[in-house]
Amino acid sequence: MKKILFIVLAASLLAACAKGPADKTAPADGAKPAVKNPVVVVLDVGRIMKEAKPSKALQKSLNDWADSTMTELRAKMDAYQKAKADGKLSPKRLTAMGKELEDLRQKSNEEYQKRRQEAADKMKATFDPLIDKLAKENGWDVVLNKVDQVTVWSSSAMDQTDYVIQQLDKMKIDTSKVPQEK
């Protein structure tokens, strides 16, 4: 029901905004002047993140850490399996070894996820200012991600959010009969 309400509201808003002012050169109250010929570029951000040297270096560092951690885990797993097969350790000690191994595996996984997020944050901290710089230098108004068509960057001239909010605020919507989800 919420989706239906949102769709109806969005359709009403779009219809109201589509009527807009007849003179396209003079913006309506609150609207920014429209960009006559906006420059829209498309980037394959996934490919950039895979193929760019900084990204490859961060991935290599992460993989090297993961490989050394896996080597350590395999050695401990082999020792555990050998001790289990030999039957020389007490069940209590064997259980403790298994618990230590599981704890190490879990901590290693958590550390990997943390390092992976840090690498992604480093790339984002490098990528975002670069895109901003390139967009301004090259006159790009909108930058889309090729894969999912998500806007990566847009000039403030393209942002009509305030205008749409003003138009929505002017609309009279009966909120007394908002359908309830069942």
The amino acid sitting at 72 is E
pLDDT of amino acid 164 = 61
User: Count of domains in the chain?
Assistant: 2
Q: What angle do CA 81, 87, 93 make, to 5 degrees?
A: 75
Domain range spanning residue 22? 1-32+160-182
pLDDT of amino acid 2 = 40
Residue 37: pLDDT band with limits 50, 70, 90: confident
Q: Do 84 and 7 fall within a single domain? A: no
Q: Do 82 and 5 fall within a single domain? A: no
Q: Do 56 and 127 fall within a single domain? A: yes
pTM: 0.60
Q: Do 150 and 81 fall within a single domain? A: yes
Q: Do 85 and 126 fall within a single domain? A: yes
Q: Do 42 and 102 fall within a single domain? A: yes
pLDDT at 67 over 80: yes
Q: Which are the contacts of 155, defined by CB distance < 8 A and separation ≥ 6?
A: 35, 135, 140, 141, 142
Q: Do 43 and 123 fall within a single domain? A: yes
